[in-house]
Structure 1
Amino acid sequence: MKTLTIIPARMGSTRLPGKPLADICGKPMIVHVAERAHAAKLGRTVVATDSIEVLQAVQAHGLEAVMTRSDHESGSDRIYEALQTLDPDGLVEAVINVQGDLPTIGAELIIKALAPLHDANVDIATLGVEITAESEKTNPNVVKIVGSPLAQENRLRALYFTRATAPWGEGPLYHHIGLYAYKRAALERFVSLGRSYLEQRESLEQLRALENGMRIDVELVSGQPLGVDTPADLDRAREMIAKAL
């Protein structure tokens, strides 16, 4: 498939204002993410932003960025606008959406997110990792995947995503990693749909796809990238990247 990797980045974070430009070892966080996504070599890697400061910071490090509107409700809407700008002829078949607050993500995880899309029946692909910390099992900020194992090793068909502790009973629980790969037609359909009932109730955008009969498969991986949402997360990212230099 002809692919395009897009990283949505907006400056309006409430918990960590100016998050994309937060300095991590001499580079803005969004640049760390873009460099790691670029290393995955899944087509062009482009940051989609509503901020001229982010655009300039990305370009100053030799990477590609594009301006998008400031009124988007979600990253999916932003990447769809960017897709239309970057590929007006419709040649791209799949779009990888890498969150702009994952500065420690490995290129190998981004590559694995694309794997389920090789099944013709799959609309959207994403990642999951088994939960090992007991505290995460009951933490509503940790989104859990409820899914059925497939014949392919380390893969689930997603049936539901929830902030609750689920499913019930003996067996592993899986933490959803918010990185998506969309078939182009699936992304076009997804952004055309209104916000769904369960999406609004759980505050989880991916439920819109499931409620409308779209198929999401999950590639299970062993590593969990650090998502930066708070100043404490940012300090931890700085420590992790400093050790890797």
Structure 2
Amino acid sequence: MKIVIPARYASTRLPGKPLADIAGRPMITHVFDRAAEALAPEHIYVAADDKRILDAMRAHGGQAVMTRADHVSGTDRIAEVASQLGWADNEIVVNVQGDEPLMPSSLISVVGQCLANDDDAAMATACTRIHEGADVLNPNIVKVVTDAAGFAHYFSRSAIPHLRGADEPDPSICSYQRHIGIYAYRVSTLKKLTKLPPAPTEELEALEQLRALYHGLLIKVVEIAQAPPHGVDTPADLDAVRILMEARS
């Protein structure tokens, strides 16, 4: 098993995000440390688009690979790392986002093992139960519906499944599941995904994982008890994470 952490310097909302200072060092090094609690460091790679990220990781003692700057998604960046390093098609790669310094190492392990345990799955990801109706209606919280075997039926920003006859979602009646954005792939799946055109549903919902479903790839979903802490998307998120991390140091 491998872990790849895609880190994009040219973030639109927060330029230079991977190198943002948290508790005295770059954010990307904190993400690497969370990953190293789940897997030996020699199996962890940061996929960078800028030499400054490579320099920061090497100073921290971690591995980093330079990738093209024009990748549209983290999946494309991870696929390039797998190609550069010549990984076998059956190798499992866990995608840990470079803006998740509070990602629990246990979740990384659970998602990777979920894929390893299911030969039929092309990918694995995670979900957790939604307890508040407002969260079901929030388009920034992605919902997932699974089948009896735990494979994803569909992901949506809308309230799915629809509770017929109800004016609003009721989590006490319907088991709504929040998708957690961490993925494990086989290298063969990465190769397929990067060659497939975007799906119509993917473009409508702005959810990359719908490409896999549209083209018939099975995504196994493991349920966890609690969602991990929020990642860093905005300056406000960064301030909140700094407070939490500095309190721990």
TM-score calculated relative to the size of structure 2: 0.90
Is this contact kept in 2: 1:33–1:102, CA < 8 A? yes
Once residues 236 and 90 of structure 2 are traced to their aligned partners in structure 1, the CA distance between those partners, rounded to angstroms, is 38
Is this contact kept in 2: 1:116–1:122, CA < 8 A? no
Once residues 183 and 59 of structure 2 are traced to their aligned partners in structure 1, the CA distance between those partners, rounded to angstroms, is 27
Once residues 121 and 28 of structure 1 are traced to their aligned partners in structure 2, the CA distance between those partners, rounded to angstroms, is 38
Partner of 1:40: 38
Partner of 2:157: 163
Partner of 1:100: 98
RMSD, aligned α-carbons: 1.5
Corresponding residue to 1:198 among 193, 198, 201: 201
Gaps of at least 5 residues in structure 2 are 164-172
Distance 1:109-1:123 versus aligned 2 partners, 3 A rule = same
Partner of 2:142: 143
Q: Secondary structure at the match of 2:151?
A: strand
Structure 1 window deviating more from structure 2 (202-211 vs 123-132): it is 123-132
Gaps of at least 5 residues in structure 1 are 151-155
Partner of 1:13: 11
Once residues 32 and 108 of structure 1 are traced to their aligned partners in structure 2, the CA distance between those partners, rounded to angstroms, is 15
Q: Secondary structure at the match of 2:213?
A: helix
Once residues 89 and 101 of structure 1 are traced to their aligned partners in structure 2, the CA distance between those partners, rounded to angstroms, is 25
Matched residue count: 237
Cα deviation code 1:45-65 (max 9, x no counterpart): 100011111111111111110
Distance 1:15-1:172 versus aligned 2 partners, 3 A rule = same
Amino acid at match of 1:125: A
Once residues 77 and 188 of structure 1 are traced to their aligned partners in structure 2, the CA distance between those partners, rounded to angstroms, is 9
Partner of 1:244: 248
Is this contact kept in 2: 1:9–1:30, CA < 8 A? yes
Amino acid at match of 1:54: I
Give 1:90 deviation, angstroms: 2.4
Max Rg structure: 2
Report % sequence identity.
Answer: 44
Q: Does 1:58 align with 2:57?
A: yes
Is this contact kept in 2: 1:9–1:100, CA < 8 A? yes
Cα deviation code 1:85-111 (max 9, x no counterpart): 12x262761111111111101110100
Once residues 71 and 118 of structure 2 are traced to their aligned partners in structure 1, the CA distance between those partners, rounded to angstroms, is 30
Once residues 119 and 20 of structure 1 are traced to their aligned partners in structure 2, the CA distance between those partners, rounded to angstroms, is 33
Partner of 2:166: none
Distance 1:92-1:58 versus aligned 2 partners, 3 A rule = farther
Partner of 1:84: 83
